[in-house]
Amino acid sequence: MRKYNSSFKTAFISEEGSKLKNNDYFGFVELDKYACYVIADGISDMRDAQGAKKAIEAIVTAFQNAPGMGKGKLKRYLKTANAELLQGKSYEKLKASLTVVITDYEKFRYGHVGNTRLRLYRDGRKFLATTDMSLSQDMVRAECLTEDKLAKHEERNNLFSYLGKENLAPYISKKYKLANGDIITLYTKGIWENVDEGELADVFAEAGNEPLEECDKVEDLLLSRQPQNLDNYTFAAIYIDKIFVDPNRKRRIKKIIIISVIILVILFVIGLLIYL
């Protein structure tokens, strides 16, 4: 019911750049009550490393088996993916940066590890952003490095948390209320190393109605730089044209208020009797 009484549109691009193999991955599934969107960036020098793909498949499967958007659920999804990557032999350990978004078509929550990025644009402006789990990001936080230098800093991929690491420590966000017209973007380092925040904000300040058009604009910006040794790049856009509106919400709120008033009256009477 929630899915069919809301309107979410998703599109993405994903290419290998200068690499021989694309180790990025994006996947999503939309169920009746919840939807799951996941982006991952494989961290490996091996050409055929499948860390990102395996991580996303593990999360999507775990989500489909037990859908939900509680903090505990997201932690379990991420731990399931982490366990999957840790199963590899020592010489082929798989690693990945990953961001997962879960929504009930009215609110959303995200889980994040590594340096894949999430941005939420609202009314043409950046409303919400993840921060990388890297040494460079820590230097920005400590004001030892300016934000505009992060994309090229030598420690930008020196991560203190990622999938495939023992003692995983992911970040799980609080719930955020969605609004009609919101745009959620997910992307890997092949994008943010070459297209800055201001340029991405400009693209979505004048966004049209089709997410693929904006994905193509971002790719055009990227390729216009003609970067050497371009990393794999993936960019996904989720357009929230219409959120779910619960027709029984006002009725439920009224019922809760009535019950709360009755409980307070009863507690007052009991307290008064005890006092007397």
Distance between CA atoms of residues 46 and 24, nearest Å: 13
Rounded to two decimals, what is the model's pTM? Answer: 0.88
| pLDDT for the residue 258 | 67
Q: Is the pLDDT of residue 253 over 70?
A: no
**Owner of token pair 């719930």:** 175
CA 234 to chain centre: 13
Write the pLDDT tens digit of every residue in 40-99. 998 876 656 788 999 999 999 999 999 999 999 999 999 999 999 998 665 567 899 999
| pLDDT for the residue 273 | 81
Average pLDDT of the residues of the chain: 90
**Owner of token pair 């731990």:** 79
Q: Using CA atoms in the order 62, 72, 11, 40, what is the torsion angle rounded to 10 degrees?
A: -80
Contacts of 268 (CB under 8 A, 6+ apart): none
**Owner of token pair 């966004």:** 207
**HEC sequence for the chain:** CCHHHCEEEEEEEEECCCCCCCCEEEEEEECCCCEEEEEEEECCCCCCCCHHHHHHHHHHHHHHHCCCCCHHHHHHHHHHHHHHHHCCCHHHCCCEEEEEEEECCCEEEEEEECCCEEEEEECCEEEEECCCCEHHHHHHHCCCCCHHHHHHCCCCCCECCCECCCCCCCEECCCEECCCCEEEEEECHHHHCCCCHHHHHHHHHCCCCCHHHHHHHHHHHHHHCCCCCCCCEEEEEEEEEECCCCCCHHHHHHHHHHHHHHHHHHHHHHHHHHHC
Span 146-166, average pLDDT: 91
Q: Would you say 211 and 9 are in contact if contact means Cβ atoms under 8 Å apart?
A: yes
Distance between CA atoms of residues 70 and 200, nearest Å: 30
Q: Is the pLDDT of residue 252 over 90?
A: no
Residue 110, strand partner residues: 101
Q: Would you say 109 and 175 are in contact if contact means Cβ atoms under 8 Å apart?
A: yes
Q: Would you say 53 and 25 are in contact if contact means Cβ atoms under 8 Å apart?
A: yes
Distance between CA atoms of residues 182 and 112, nearest Å: 20
Residue 55 backbone dihedrals phi, psi, to 5 degrees: -65, -45
Encoding tokens for residue 28?
A: 């999503």
More confident residue, 225 or 115: 115
Q: Is the pLDDT of residue 151 over 70?
A: yes
| pLDDT for the residue 256 | 67
Residue 201 backbone dihedrals phi, psi, to 5 degrees: -60, -40
Compute CA distances 180 → 10, 57, 126, 216, whole Å.
15, 29, 15, 23
**In 3D, which of 25, 10, 9 has the Cα closest to residue 190?**
25
Number of C-beta neighbours around residue 5 at 10 A: 13
